[in-house]
Each structure stands twice: as C-alpha cells, then as structure tokens.
Structure 1
Amino acid sequence: MMGMLLVRGYVHSEVLADHRVRPDAAADRVPQAILDGGPVVDTRGGQATSIDVPDHRIVLTFDDGPDPRWTPQVLDVLAKHHAHAVFFITGTMASRYPDLVRRMVEEGHEIGLHTFNHPDLSYQSTKRIDWELTQNQLALAGAAGIRTSLFRPPYSATASALDNNTWPVTQYVGSRGYLTVLTGDDSEDWRRPGVAEIIRNSTPADGEGAIVLMHDSGGDRSQTVRALDTYLPRLARQGYTFENLTEALDAPSAHTRVSGLELWKGRAWTALVTAADDLTGILVVGLAVIGVLVFARFGLMLLLSAVHTRRTRRPDFAWGPNAPVTEPVSVLVPAYNEAKCIESTVRSLVKSDHPVEILVVDDGSSDGTARIVEDLGLPGVRVVRQLNAGKPAALNRGIANARHDLIVMMDGDTVFEPSTVRELVQPFADPRVGAVAGNAKVGNKDTLIGAWQHIEYVMGFNLDRRMYDVLRCMPTIPGAVGAFRRGALDRVGGMSDDTLAEDTDITMALHRDGWKVVYTEKARAWTEAPESVQQLWSQRYRWCYGTMQAIWKHRRALVEGGPSGRFGRVGLPLVSLFMVVAPLLAPLIDLFLIYGLLFGPTGKTIAAWFGVLAIQAVCAAYAFVLDKERLTPLISLPLQQLLYRQLMYIVLLQSWITALTGGRLRWQKLRRMGQVAAPPGEEARTAVEEGAAR
C-alpha cells in the first residue's frame, strides 16, 4: 500500500515539482535569425532554423493537460467545428487521464511533450531533461501507443524571448530529436481576462498564419471554452483553417507508433498509476472510516467512563440488595510451568482479607510448579494435578473441585492485593450478575515495552471496560482477574476450548444466556506483561485470533432474540468495529502521515497527526487519573504510537490472514521472568513485617 501511495504521490504531488522560473537574461548567444524567426525552432542535426506557419493557417495549441473537466469540453468544441489542434501534455496528467490522450489522437489531434513535472528546464541538468522527456514519452506510449517529436518548454513564449539560459535547452532538446514549438499569439487565457479579450489576443493580423497558445488545464478554463466556441467559426469565416502543426507545415506526422517493450512499459505505467489512484481512493475512504471509529470510540469512552465513575463512586452506591458479599470464595490458579511466579501468586492470595480457598491446578508442569506450592504448606491452599490438557481444561477441573459458589479465576503469573478478592465479588450482591471483570495492571512497567503496555492496559483495556459496562456488553473477563457465579458457568457449559480466547468466549456466552457482566476498577491485579517483542507477538497474536474466533462462534446472536439478540446487535458490532476493524484500518493513519510528510501538505499532515495524538493523550491522562496512576509513563506515548502500535498492526494483520486462510494456531505459553513478586507497596510492608517477626 505504501508503494502504491508513493506512485500516487510521485504523479500527483506538487512538492516534487520545481516551480522556479528564471528571469529574463541576455540573448547575445542566440542566433539573430532565430530571434527574428518563426515560432517553430528546429535544432536537430546541429543546425538552427526557424519555421513560420503559412498564411491563413492557425495551429491551436493547448498546454498543461489533459484535465478531466476542461479537456473534454475543449475537444467537444473542436469536434463541433471540425478543427484540429496540438495538445502539449504533461506526463503527470497524461499518466492520470490516459483515456483523454487516447481520445485526442483518435479525433485527429496532434500531441506534443510539455515535460513530466513542468519545471523550468533552464535550471535543470541534461540528465533531468532526459528524464522529463523520457517519462513524458512513457506516459504517452501507455495512453495512446505512440511517441511524438514535438516539444514545448514550460514557461516558454515567442522565439524572440529566447535568451542565453533557454537557448542551450532548445539546442539540447533538438539533439534528442525534438522540434521545439514556441508561441506566435498568446491568448493569455490563464489570466482569465474575459472571452472578448481572449479572442482578440488569439486573432492574427492581416491573414497571417499563427501558433496560438491556450490552456486546457491548470485552473478554471470556462472562459477558454466559451471563447473557443466563438473564435473558431468567426476565423473560419475569415478564411482560416485550424490544423495540426504538421498539417499546417505540410510535413510528415509527428506521431510514431510504438510496439514491443516500449509499448508494454507504457501500458504498465499507466495501469500502475490508475491502480494507485483507485487504491488511494479506497484508502481515503478507509481513512475516513477509521477517523470516525477513532473519534467515536474516544467520545464514547470519555462520556461513558464518566457515567460509570459517577455511578460507582456515589456515597449511596451498592451493587445489590445482598451487599456486602461476605461468603467464602474459591480462587482457581491454572498453572503450567510457573515455577518462577507461583510462590508470589499464592502468597498474595493467602493475604486476602476475604475468606478464600485456593486451588492451584497444575496442568502437567515439568518445572516442579506443583511441588513448590505443596512445599509452602500454606493454609487453605490445595493442589490439583492433571496431565497437560490446556487452560480451559485446567479451569474446568478447578471448578469441579471448588467448594464454593463464587469462583475467582486468575493467571499463575499474577498477584492480588489483599482487597482484590473482596472487591471482585461484591457485584454478586446483585443476583443478575453472572461474572465480574477486575482491573488488570502491569506490574513490570519499568522497561520501555512494559511502560507501553502499562498505557495500553490502563487506557485501552480498563477505560474500554467502563464503556462496555455502561453499554452492558462487556466483551472479555480478563484471565488475570475475573470472578464467576458457579450457576452461570454451569448453564453455559463451563470453559470451552473452541477458541484461543477462552475468556472472551465464556464472557460472550454469559451475555447470550442473559447474565449481567460488570466491571469493578477497585479489584486490582498485577500481572507480568511480556518482556520481549517475540513474547509480546505470541501473546497478542493469540488474543487477536482468539477474539476473531469468539466473534465468529457467537455470530448467531445477531439474529436471535432476547438477551442473546441484544448482545448480538449491540455488543458484537461494537467489539468487531473497535477491536477488529478499527485496528486493521488504523495503519492508514501512519501511511498517510508518511505520504503527507513526503508529498504534502506537510504542515497540515503534522498538525492532523498531532491532533489525533493529543486526543489520545487526553483519553490516556483521563484513564490514568481514574485509575489513580502517575502520569509519568505518558511521556513515552508518542514513541508508542510510532513503534509499539506498528507491531500491533502486523499482529492483527497476521491474525486476519490466519483466519481467512483457515489456519490453525496453538495455545502458546509465554516464558515468564517472575518479576512481579508483590503489588506496589507490598515489598516494603513485607520487609517490615519480617523484621518485626525476627
């Protein structure tokens, strides 16, 4: 896509064009015969001659086209009055509108080159001049299958205006086989002086022949079209004919058919430009869609998060008629090779200020995870062993062995605060609540990747959960900190291994079964985010692909009635738009940032990008304030947008490819470092307690 945008920018951009125009200079090195001669200058073969157009013959010339609006109107007027003309086309316009060039040739008009990017060639090297001519011929070959020997320099005038700067260009172009066509009578239509003035400027004196300069591009040419419709019949009545240059000079045609490689190169070029334009049009629509989605998401997050916060922080707020919830809870810890983390996890649970039983389900670990837990000898902790069968199976085994009706699930690399379990189960005071999402936070945020993930967790996950909570369509109970009512789990068949995102799958199943799923930010859990790019890639790839699987699995909710239908028509579209479609289209923001920096408008592009960044920063700061987090990590937000986000793009794209090609992805275990030993502040308190005990 970036390559196609570069092609588009190469053809369209004014930034690449050189708009310098050299002022008049001395003309002592220009032959006097040329200065006093006609508008056609022939320097081919090392000789310098000039040619006049015979009397009563007018060669109409149109510069800077073809233009999709004005060129067809000019051609229509010429066809109406049976007149021929010469169109001096630029390569950029011919590449974009090859059908108009083809029409010019088919209707008997002659084509001349006007360079590719319209620079003043007196400023350019011979290499650049060759490039301008070659690219112009390439576009002409692709559009009409011909090449031409006619050339008009940009910013040229009459032969008498040639000087010591422009004459060497004329000589060099002649050495390349081109006939230079200057101007006899300038209509000055580019000034838009009015129809009458254009006609007056274009009318030769006393029946003389002339080459008349007009334009079919470069601005509003309505006056040119109207003037032409009057000018042609008026001068025809005076005995003038309107012919191509070679017709007027009784010379062989300037056109030569091309074939073979030259023809196919031209066709490939125009096809590429057309494809680039078409793709850019699609990308612009995609950019508009992502713009709407981004601003809609930000707006909803800010508005609904404020609603959620006001509601849950009211002094009289209570989760339900049975508040507070004091009944004991079973905490399930599925563990597979968590030897580095499991002790910190279990010890944090033992310190809970809510009555708990702790079940560590060892899923066939080979690193002694179960033995470590057993050797701790902590009260209320049981170990259940099974052969490796995956996380969903381990959780179902834990549910079967749990003694209580309220079940908390967490990861083996996560640590809870003493109040986490208590806060997590309070929403069950409402008998309609089937599951509760807690507040997962990054514990190892002292690295750059950790800081970026910390921003993502606080803003992208927890602010989202507040929004989804208010909309009653929470998509995911995080595996690191979530609670369930046993009856709700039993009704939907427990944890499923149909997808790689069992947490999203079970949450959607609960919604469809009519249960409320809520979020409580006070139930904080500290988890170890991946340390390396490879580990991060594996985790996010599984999450993305698993989310797509879950959406597909529950797609029938779109057409069902009751609670399932409500989730299907509210929750699934929001999750699909904000978690799948928006991230897929989000790279367009960065693609167009690069495009704007290269091709302009640079200032507006930078302002727009920083505008989006500012909105993200406001949302992030708001999320950090709600979570009572320090704002310092937000310093790295711009770098996160430039680097970290690109990785997420590629992960999502790979997930899409896997889904569309029917690939299968295994559940991937992340390698943990055991860096989250206790919640923030716990280390110091633990040290004090141990010192007192000694």
Structure 2
Amino acid sequence: MPEDVPPGLTPFVFSDPLGKRWPRLRILLLITGVLVFLGTVLFVETLFIAPRMTAPFSLRQLKGQLKSLQTQNPAGQRSAPNSLLWQKFEATKQAAKKLAAPAAVTGSPTATPARARRQVSENEVRLAFYTNGDPYSYSSLEQHASQITHVCPEWMSMVNGVGDLQIDADARVLKLSQNKGIALMPLLTNLVGDTWQPEAVENVAHGPPERQEKFIANVLVVLRNAKAAGVVVDWEQLDPTYKKDFTDLLGKFANALHRDGRQLWLIVSPGQEIDYIDFDELSPYIDRFVAMLFDETSDVDASGPLASRMWFEGWLHVLMEDSDPGQWIIALGSYGYDWVIGGKKAELISFPEAMSRASSAEIESAEVSAPGYNAYFYYEDNDVEHAVWFLDVVTFLNELREVRKQKAGGIALYRLGTEDSAIWDALSTPSDFKFAPSTRSLLEVLHGTDTIADVGDGEIVTVDESRADGMRSLTVDKDGYLNATYTKFPEFPTLYHQGAGDAHEVALTFDDGPDPEWTPKILDILKAAKVKAAFFLVGVNAERYPNLVRRIVDEGHEIGNHTYYHPNLALCWPEHVRLELNATQLLIQTLTGRGTTLFRPPYAADTQPARLADLMPLQIAQDQNYLVVLENIDPQDWARPGADVILQRIKQQRHDGNIILLHDAGGDRSQTVEALPRIIEYLQARNDTIVPLSKLLNTTRDALMPLLPGGQTMSHYISSTGFRVVHAVEEFLWAFMIVATALVLVRTLIVIYLAYRFRSSPPADFAEPVSVVIAAYNEGKVIDATLQSLLKTDYQGELEVVVIDDGSRDDTAVEVEKVAATDGRVRLIRQQNRGKARALQRGVAAARNELIVFIDADTHCQRQTLPRLLAPFIDPNIGGVSGHAKVGNLRSFIARCQSLEYTVGFNLDRRAYTRWNCITVLPGAISAVRKQAIDRAGGLSLDTLAEDTDLTLSLHKQRLPTVYVPGAVAWTEAPETVRALSRQRFRWAYGTLQCLWKHRDMVFNWKYRALGWFSLPSIWFFQIILVAITPAVDLFLILSLPFGAWRDLLPFVIVFLATDVILATLACILEHENVLHAWRIIPMRLIYRPMLSYCVWKAILRGVKGAWVSWGKLERTASVPVRA
C-alpha cells in the first residue's frame, strides 16, 4: 500500500487493500501531464513567433516618398496678401488725427462713470498662449513655467447673442499656474469649433443693458472660480459698423473687471480685423493691447512668409506710434505652415515637425536671411509639391530686439507646444547678438528630442523612432540682423500619415468586439445600408464568439487586430505587446483563414501620441508589418452620451479626418446602434461616400487581409488546437463562475429565510438520566477544566461522565482520577491508543444511560448547556441534538476568524437546516444522541475519520430527526496557528469526503428530501468542488490583471464577498455579537481560501491513493477561559 496501515485496522472508505490504484493512476497522470506540458510549450511557442504577414510595400515605406524640391525663394518675387495693410492702417490713422478736433476728446466711452485702467507693473510681461488638448502645449508650460509671468489658455467662447458662454477649462493649467505663481489670463473668443461667430458679440454689444450685464456677470463667475488675474479678449470678423457699440461694451466690461480687481487685455490682429477697435477711446480702459504680429500669410493664402521683417516692423511701429508702449504686449510666433501647392488650406505644424519633414525629404539647407528673415523649404510627397514656412529662434531674436527697442510692455509667445525650444535659451541674449560660447552652442545645435512629429495626411500611420541632432550656423549681416543657415536638420520621432483619401471619403470603424448583442445589430444596419466597415477585434471576444468573426468577414467587412485582452500597451513590456498581437493574429487566422495587417492600439486611438511610450507598441506592430490605424473623429460613444450627442459630435468633427471611431462591445452600445443609421444618413446627405479602409489606402481588401496559403501548417494546427482548449477552459471557468454565483445567491437567500424562521423550543422540564462520553488523548492541560464545567451543570437529572483515556502519554489519567476521587459521577476507562472512534465506541458501550452526550476533552460547558441540550428529547421521536459550539480562545487573529466561521458556517447553517430536518453533522464538540438511535444507525462507524458526520447521516437514513439548540453553548479550543489549522482542516476535509462518498446514495434522492437535495449537495459543491476549483479561478483572476479582463471578473468577486458579508452580518445579529466582526470575513477569505483548497486537494489525493489518515492531535494551550 502507498502508506503503512496499522495492523488490525478496520477497512476504511477509500482504502485500497491491494495497493494497485495509485500506481496505475500515477502512470496515467504522468502521461497526461507530459502531453499537456508539451502541448502547452508548443502552443506558447507559436504565440511568441510572429505570424508571417506582408503589408503592401508602398504603404510601409512612407519616409522614402518625401523628396527635396528645389524652388527659388518667392519672398523677393511677391508680397504676402496682407503685407501692405500696415501702411493703409497708418494712412487712415494719420487722416483721422487731422480731422479730429482738439476739444472732441471724451473721457468715457460708456454711460457709466469713467474708471481708468489699473496701473500695471513696469517689469517685462512674458505671456504664453496655451492650446487645450495639446499634450505638447502642457509639457512646454510645465517645463518653462518659471520663464513666463502670464499664461493665456483657451477657456471661454461666446456661443450666442444672449451672453452665454461655452467653457473649456483645463484643470491642469489652473493647478500649475497657482503652484508656480503664474498669472492666469483666460482667453475669451467668439470662436465655436472652427467658425468665428461675430453675431455672438454683435448681439450683446448692440443689445439691451441687461444682456450685457448678464454676459459680464458670466465672465466674472468664471474668472473668480479660476482665481484669474483677468481676461484676454479675442473677437474677430466683427462688423465695423458697430464700432461704437463694441467700444461701449468693452468700456463697461473693463469697469466691471477693475472693480473686481482684474484686468482686461484686448487682442489686436493686424489687418482688417482691427477696424472695430477705437484705440483712442479704449486706451484709458484696456489694461493691455496684445498685438499678434504673425500670420502675415494665413493658412488660406498661397504660401509665403509668416512674419517678414518689413511687415513685422511696419506693424510694430504703426501700432505703438502715439501710444503708451508699456500698454502693448507683442505676440511673436513660433510655428510653421505646410502648404500643398495649389491646395486650399495649409496645415499648421510645429517647429519639430518642420525639421522632421526637412530631414525626411533630405533637404540640404534652409536660410533665415534678408529680405524676409523667415525660413522656408520645398519638398515633394508622393509627387505632391509642398511649401513649408516656419518661424524659429532666429526670427524670434530679430523681432524681440525690435520690440525691446520700442520699450513695449512685454512679449507673448504663440504658442506653447509648437515653438523652437531654443527660444527659452534666447530670452536674455544681448541685443547686439554677441553670444557667449555656451549660448551660441544652445542656439546652433538642434537637439532631436522626444517630441513626436507628424508628417503627411491621414489617420493610418507608420512610425520612425530615430533621433539625431541637427545644426544651424548663426551670423549677423551688415544691417545688424541675425541670420542662420541650416546645414543639418535634426530628426525627431515621427509618425508618417497616409490614408486621407478623397475629401468626401469616410470610413466607419468599430472597436472592442465582437459582442453577441450589439455586433449583429450593427452588421444588420450596415448590410441594409450596403455599407462596409472595419472591425477591430479583441481576441478574447473573438475567441468567445467565433461565428460573429466569420460573419463579419463573410459579409465583406475588414477586420483588424485590437490586442487579445485590451490592455494599455504603453504600460506593457515589449514581450507582452508581441504576445497580445500574435495571439490575436493567430486566432483571426484560425477562425477566418485570413490574416490582417490592420492594428489599432487600445486606449491610444488618437491621432497624436504624446510620449515615446505611446510609440513603443506602434513600432512593435510596425516591425510585424502592421499598419496602425488611428482616428480623428471620436464621438466617445463608449461614454453613452446619447444618440443625439454622438451624431452631433461626428458632425462637429467630420472635417477633422476621414475615419470614425465607434464601439460594438465593451458595455451597453444601444446608443451606438441607435445613432448608426442616422450617422450613415448624415454622411450620405453631405455627399460623403462610406468606404472601407482599403479604399482610403488605394489598395484592396485582400492586400490588407491576405488569404492564408492552402493547407494547414503544423503551427496553425497547434495554435488552433490550443485556442480551442483555451476557449473550452475559459468557457468552463466563466460558466462555473456564473453557476457558482447563482448558487451562492440562491443558497444565501434560502439560508437567510430559514434562519429567520428558526424558533427554539421552549425550555422543558426534562431530567432523564444522561451519560457524557469524552474521548481523551494527551488532554492533561485541559481535562480538569472540562470536567469541572460539566459537574457544575444545572441539569437536574442523573449524570455520569465517562472519560476514555486512549493511551495518553501525559497526565490525562491522573487528572481524571483526581476529579473522580472527589466526585463519584466521573468514571475513567483506560485503553491502548486505538483512535478516537474506538474510544467513543467503548464509552458508549460502557454508558449506563439511554441519553448520550458527546463532548470533546477541551470543551467547556456552561451551567445551562446540558439542560438546554437535552430538553428536545422530551419528544420521543428526536434522534439527536446539536449544541452550539463557540471558539473560546480568542487570543489570535486566526482564532478570531474561526470564531466567525463557527458563527456563520456552522451555527447559522444549523439554524436553517433545522427547519427542513437536514442537519448534516451533530458536532463531536457538543451534541447528544439516544443510545437506541446509535444502535439503529449501526453504531459508531470506524471506516471514516468524521464519525460525527457519519453518525448524523446514518440517523437520517433511519428517519430519526435531528435538531439544533443555539442556547446549548459550549466553548471549544481552536487552533491558533495557520499550520495547526491546516492540519485540522485536512482531517475535516478527508473525513467529510469519506462520509460524502460513503453516503453518496443519499444525494439527489427524494427519499431524503431537503437533505438529499439541499444540504448534502451544498457540501459537495460549496465545501469540495468550489473550494477545489478556487485556485484555478484565482489564477484566472491574477493572470487577467495585466490584460484588463479583471473588469469582467470583478462583479463575480464582489457578489461572492457581498454574500459572505451579508451572511456574516446576519449570523452576528442572530448570535447577538458585534456586527463589525462580520468584516473579518473578507481578510479571512484571503487566508482560508488557499489553505482550504490545499486541504481539499490533499484529501482528494489521499483518497485516490487509498492512504490511511490518522486522527492526529491538536496541541492544547488551555487558553479557553472558564465561563459560568
């Protein structure tokens, strides 16, 4: 036999006399284990080997499509459209002076009392414009906060003519400005989306005073909440006809701000836009005028300089002429425009993006020199000619010198995030441009930083992470202006964009599916509209719903890889990213017979990754020949804002790009389904054509989703088999979780209902003779206290106490003899060590009375324990009674947890089970049985380790009812260490398993009613099966943490814990214990679950092996206090 069995041992449940079961099973397990291990290794190996895929070469080599284009500088050939407006403005200004009568000067532009502008500091103002939603803008602000005095974030827009505001506050800017001591000057515009709304200002300016007051009050509320120093007003495209109304409104606005201790700054955009400004009338009230001296050539003009020297200096002089220079802030630009020659509108680009395009196109050089002192270059992208003009630190320094010559009140940078970073090193350079060597190095070396540049149009990208420094040489020309020659352009991490398609081509994409509820509905809508879309699949969902994946492909849609578990890839190791991609790719190939070259990263589906960490997964995907599909139109349908809002957001963003992001899984997508037909109708109404991604890329569906070669390779066979096994295991675990959760809830409700309906029998005048049987083995520390507590009972009937010393090696017998010498009710019987069951057998045989009480040697009874325990026997039909065992030694956390377990798991259940006569165990710690009932049940069995459970089930077979008496309290000693507890629970688990197997004929047997259909199945499921499978579920939960699947598991975990807490709370209430103790159930589960799983599996293994298990011995501490 696997283990030596003591001579003369009675055959026991699970015994294997021939010892053949375990060797045979061991061989089978070994063979199965080896096969599973080899299969797992091969399957995992396939996951780490990237499947072969090939995207069209032209779609992957975007960098090579950029070429230098040699074009002469047009700056000397033509003037920008707005280059001479400053001269016209100066002429108009001079004419107005001659016509103005000296006495015509008025002191107030409004009917309200005049209030002069506030005195401002003479220190140079350094204002920076901040763009909401641009991560580079915030990064620049955070990095250079100490070098600016004011920040102007996009904050408020006038959205109608009644004074209402659209607020777009950035909490990060608010917090940073307060922490760094930067004055916050929010921007107030009449820009809604990309459209200026002049009526929003005109209707307020020309409207009744109440409307103006409402508008001013709304602004003040925003400024007060933000603790702002004031507001910067930027109103454009206003009708000069209303100049007097605008002047009055601004005067009233200024007075209100000044009374509130805040300032009013007014943006002046050179050109026709300033005709509405009456400088003479407003100068006493406006704290600062902010002149935007850039955009000489706007984005809708033909390409040209952005701030040529003559244009800049002309406007600078004419604006500040006859003005207080300190009242003027001069905004200097640092950005660029990329024009498509012959196109309608230029793209605003940052300085790093201009450098990246020049480097990618292998531009040899560019210059900042006379006459314009603006840099430019030309390049060709896929045979399309481009012109790039940009403003750098060299232009900035030339302009800064002129501004300081005019003694302006300060400068402003437009804008944070697009600037040449050398500007921050140039703010304190000398006006003669005689740089110190260290400063010159800072200005001439162009560092290739982590800033990510974008090249091209479209939302399908490839990545180039290369970085390299560039160089420009600085000189001063004969006119004293700073010149520069770019000899090597720096390289920045770059996203190359493609797939812009035609202006009226748009693609629909759906993420996170498939989902059995929403994906079919979306497919039905697309089919009815004869529209094709792209579905980016999450592997775990594709694995669960393979038929939906096949339907998507069969109906002509495109599919893409959206990772397996939808993690945030920026937080993942590279190996994890590859595993996510490979697993999903293999699954798609297995299900559809096609691969896919399309990939969209979870949580990063935006067109502007801001960190290198965001590029890492894109680069890995690109290395595996994926095309990364981003998006510019995101209505955020996942947030469930409503179908109307989803549609409205798409309308607002339609001009931003050609790819729309929606979701067909990941939650309730009813709003997406509701909005989709309306989205399609809207797009078709504006003459858009909904096309697949392949059309945007000017390729075919088969090129993006290549068919696999004929025949299944060994790799695909292994992966397909592995996925089927994984799917089966995962489906089993999910099904198990669902069933287990449902059963837990049902059982909880039943137990609560029955426990509340439990009623104790009234005390009865019962005094029949009784024998207390105690089996003792090495109980010298505790036996005296146990006997003394028994002998002090209030029970009025005849009492005898029979103690069987089962071969103790300590002074147990001596202690019993001492008590017996003083009280004749105590008898001692000694025998060789033969086990607890045989000791109890002998005690029952020696008992003189019909009623037998079983008590453990460490159990302390109270005076009323025996009277209450025996009272139910007044009914002659009662076969056995369970007492109320409680933990008496509460010194350790482990013991206190067991106390709660006794309260919840044992005593609460017995309350409930009594109602349906389905108690499964009369505990050996405190119970009573008729001797005649023991005989009818076949006596105390020796073939299980749990003789009390075995006896109880045998009583049920004899139709002998059992009841529970909560008032019959006995205090027992519980293990105080995890090791001792583990040994005890292993014995309990093994004994319980023996009894369940022995009495398996009772399960689902109508003959035993609630016992066969409720309490015994509960033990099988909740104490054996559930506990045994718990490690797999826990492992499933742990492995899901880095993959995001924990969100699906979390509800089940919460339900389990919630039911535990509810039952514990109810049990504490019924036991009149502190309900706060119920919360111990949560940490208790963390300790008990793995330990109980270990004990159950150890018991199962011993049972399979047919191994004999001894009762063992808990080391006593005698720590149960004496209670009356």
Would the TM-score normalized by the shorter structure come out above 0.5?
yes
Aligned partners of 1:471, 1:570: CA distance in 2, in Å?
A: 6
1:437-456 Cα shifts (integer Å, max 9, x gaps): 33323232222222222233
Q: Are the aligned partners of 2:885 and 2:926 in contact in 1 as well (CA < 8 Å)?
A: yes
Q: Does residue 885 of structure 2 align to residue 435 of structure 1?
A: no
> In proportion to residue count, which structure has more helix?
1
Q: Which residue of 1 aligns with 2:779?
A: 338
Q: Sort the Cα spacing of 1:148 and 1:513 in 2 relative to 1 into closer, same or farther, 3 A.
A: closer
- Tell me the secondary structure at the aligned position of residue 403 of structure 1: coil
Aligned partners of 1:559, 1:156: CA distance in 2, in Å?
A: 54
Counterpart pick for 1:507 among 919, 932, 952: 952
Name the amino acid aligned to 1:370.
A
Q: Percent identity?
A: 31
Q: Which residue of 1 aligns with 2:1009?
A: 569
How big is the shift at 1:179?
Answer: 4.9
Q: Sort the Cα spacing of 1:575 and 1:654 in 2 relative to 1 into closer, same or farther, 3 A.
A: farther
Aligned partners of 1:675, 1:497: CA distance in 2, in Å?
A: 29
Aligned partners of 2:559, 2:501: CA distance in 1, in Å?
A: 18
Aligned partners of 2:619, 2:861: CA distance in 1, in Å?
A: 83
Aligned partners of 1:621, 1:523: CA distance in 2, in Å?
A: 17
Aligned partners of 2:926, 2:888: CA distance in 1, in Å?
A: 14
Q: Are the aligned partners of 2:914 and 2:963 in contact in 1 as well (CA < 8 Å)?
A: yes
Q: Which residue of 1 aligns with 2:121?
A: none
Q: Which residue of 1 aligns with 2:1087?
A: 643
How big is the shift at 1:288?
Answer: 1.9
Q: Are the aligned partners of 1:198 and 1:227 in contact in 2 as well (CA < 8 Å)?
A: no
Where in structure 2 are the equivalents of 1:47-62 lying within 5 Å?
62=509
Q: Are the aligned partners of 1:38 and 1:50 in contact in 2 as well (CA < 8 Å)?
A: yes
Aligned partners of 2:1118, 2:644: CA distance in 1, in Å?
A: 77
Name the amino acid aligned to 1:62.
T
Aligned partners of 1:44, 1:632: CA distance in 2, in Å?
A: 57
Range with bigger deviation, 607-616 or 186-195: 186-195
How big is the shift at 1:496?
Answer: 1.4
How big is the shift at 1:171?
Answer: 9.5
Counterpart pick for 1:297 among 751, 756, 766: 751
Q: Sort the Cα spacing of 1:427 and 1:182 in 2 relative to 1 into closer, same or farther, 3 A.
A: closer
Q: Does residue 733 of structure 2 align to residue 279 of structure 1?
A: yes
1:390-422 Cα shifts (integer Å, max 9, x gaps): 223222222222222333222223333455444
How big is the shift at 1:286?
Answer: 1.5
Q: Are the aligned partners of 1:120 and 1:155 in contact in 2 as well (CA < 8 Å)?
A: yes
How big is the shift at 1:386?
Answer: 2.8
How big is the shift at 1:53?
Answer: 5.7
Where in structure 2 are the equivalents of 1:202-281 lying within 5 Å?
217=664, 219=669, 220-221=672-673, 224=676, 244-245=694-695, 248-249=698-699, 253-255=703-705, 257=708, 268=722, 272=726, 275-276=729-730, 279-281=733-735
Aligned partners of 1:83, 1:635: CA distance in 2, in Å?
A: 55
Aligned partners of 1:665, 1:636: CA distance in 2, in Å?
A: 35
How big is the shift at 1:139?
Answer: 0.9
Aligned partners of 1:614, 1:70: CA distance in 2, in Å?
A: 35
Aligned partners of 2:601, 2:619: CA distance in 1, in Å?
A: 12
Q: Are the aligned partners of 1:59 and 1:245 in contact in 2 as well (CA < 8 Å)?
A: no
How big is the shift at 1:427?
Answer: 3.1
Where in structure 2 are the equivalents of 1:148-547 lying within 5 Å?
148-150=596-598, 177=625, 179=627, 217=664, 219=669, 220-221=672-673, 224=676, 244-245=694-695, 248-249=698-699, 253-255=703-705, 257=708, 268=722, 272=726, 275-276=729-730, 279-301=733-755, 303-305=756-758, 307-308=759-760, 311-312=761-762, 317-318=763-764, 323-325=765-767, 327-354=768-795, 355-367=798-810, 369-374=812-817, 377-380=821-824, 381-547=826-992
How big is the shift at 1:675?
Answer: 0.3
How big is the shift at 1:364?
Answer: 3.0
Q: Which residue of 2 aligns with 1:689?
A: none
Q: Which residue of 2 aligns with 1:620?
A: 1067
Structure with greater contact order relative to length (CA < 8 Å, sep ≥ 6): 1
Name the amino acid aligned to 2:1114.
R
Q: Are the aligned partners of 1:138 and 1:266 in contact in 2 as well (CA < 8 Å)?
A: no
Aligned partners of 1:49, 1:441: CA distance in 2, in Å?
A: 72
How big is the shift at 1:231?
Answer: 9.9
Aligned partners of 1:421, 1:459: CA distance in 2, in Å?
A: 23
Q: Are the aligned partners of 1:287 and 1:585 in contact in 2 as well (CA < 8 Å)?
A: no
1:320-372 Cα shifts (integer Å, max 9, x gaps): xxx431x4333222222323333333344444455323322222334353354
TM-score (norm 1): 0.70
Q: Are the aligned partners of 1:409 and 1:482 in contact in 2 as well (CA < 8 Å)?
A: yes
Aligned partners of 1:559, 1:588: CA distance in 2, in Å?
A: 24
Range with bigger deviation, 330-339 or 104-113: 104-113
1:445-485 Cα shifts (integer Å, max 9, x gaps): 22222222223334433333333334333332221222232
Q: Are the aligned partners of 2:921 and 2:952 in contact in 1 as well (CA < 8 Å)?
A: yes
Name the amino acid aligned to 2:970.
A
Aligned partners of 2:1107, 2:954: CA distance in 1, in Å?
A: 22
Where in structure 2 are the equivalents of 1:647-686 lying within 5 Å?
647-652=1091-1096, 654-655=1098-1099, 661=1104, 663-675=1106-1118, 679-681=1122-1124
Q: Sort the Cα spacing of 1:656 and 1:226 in 2 relative to 1 into closer, same or farther, 3 A.
A: farther
Name the amino acid aligned to 1:304.
R
- Tell me the secondary structure at the aligned position of residue 324 of structure 1: coil
What is the total number of aligned residue pairs between the two structures? 625
How big is the shift at 1:143?
Answer: 1.3
Name the amino acid aligned to 2:964.
Y
Q: Are the aligned partners of 2:996 and 2:1020 in contact in 1 as well (CA < 8 Å)?
A: no
Q: Which residue of 2 aligns with 1:143?
A: 588
Aligned partners of 2:1004, 2:531: CA distance in 1, in Å?
A: 64
Q: Sort the Cα spacing of 1:176 and 1:435 in 2 relative to 1 into closer, same or farther, 3 A.
A: closer
Q: Are the aligned partners of 1:342 and 1:369 in contact in 2 as well (CA < 8 Å)?
A: yes
Range with bigger deviation, 638-647 or 104-113: 104-113
Counterpart pick for 1:67 among 514, 518, 528: 514
Q: Are the aligned partners of 1:342 and 1:413 in contact in 2 as well (CA < 8 Å)?
A: yes
Range with bigger deviation, 89-98 or 37-46: 37-46
Name the amino acid aligned to 1:576.
L
Aligned partners of 2:1063, 2:521: CA distance in 1, in Å?
A: 48
Q: Are the aligned partners of 1:91 and 1:139 in contact in 2 as well (CA < 8 Å)?
A: yes
Name the amino acid aligned to 1:618.
T
Q: Sort the Cα spacing of 1:118 and 1:129 in 2 relative to 1 into closer, same or farther, 3 A.
A: farther
How big is the shift at 1:645?
Answer: 5.5
Q: Which residue of 1 aligns with 2:404?
A: none
Name the amino acid aligned to 2:1012.
L
Q: Sort the Cα spacing of 1:248 and 1:581 in 2 relative to 1 into closer, same or farther, 3 A.
A: same
Q: Are the aligned partners of 1:53 and 1:249 in contact in 2 as well (CA < 8 Å)?
A: no
Q: Are the aligned partners of 2:870 and 2:928 in contact in 1 as well (CA < 8 Å)?
A: yes
How big is the shift at 1:529?
Answer: 1.9
1:294-315 Cα shifts (integer Å, max 9, x gaps): 23223322x133x22xx42xxx
1:152-186 Cα shifts (integer Å, max 9, x gaps): 6789999xx889999989999878755566789x8
Q: Sort the Cα spacing of 1:430 and 1:242 in 2 relative to 1 into closer, same or farther, 3 A.
A: closer
Q: Are the aligned partners of 2:588 and 2:595 in contact in 1 as well (CA < 8 Å)?
A: no
Aligned partners of 2:812, 2:940: CA distance in 1, in Å?
A: 23
Name the amino acid aligned to 1:298.
I
Q: Are the aligned partners of 2:804 and 2:829 in contact in 1 as well (CA < 8 Å)?
A: yes
Q: Sort the Cα spacing of 1:201 and 1:268 in 2 relative to 1 into closer, same or farther, 3 A.
A: farther
Q: Which residue of 1 aligns with 2:374?
A: none
Q: Are the aligned partners of 1:392 and 1:495 in contact in 2 as well (CA < 8 Å)?
A: yes
Aligned partners of 1:560, 1:174: CA distance in 2, in Å?
A: 63
- Tell me the secondary structure at the aligned position of residue 813 of structure 2: helix
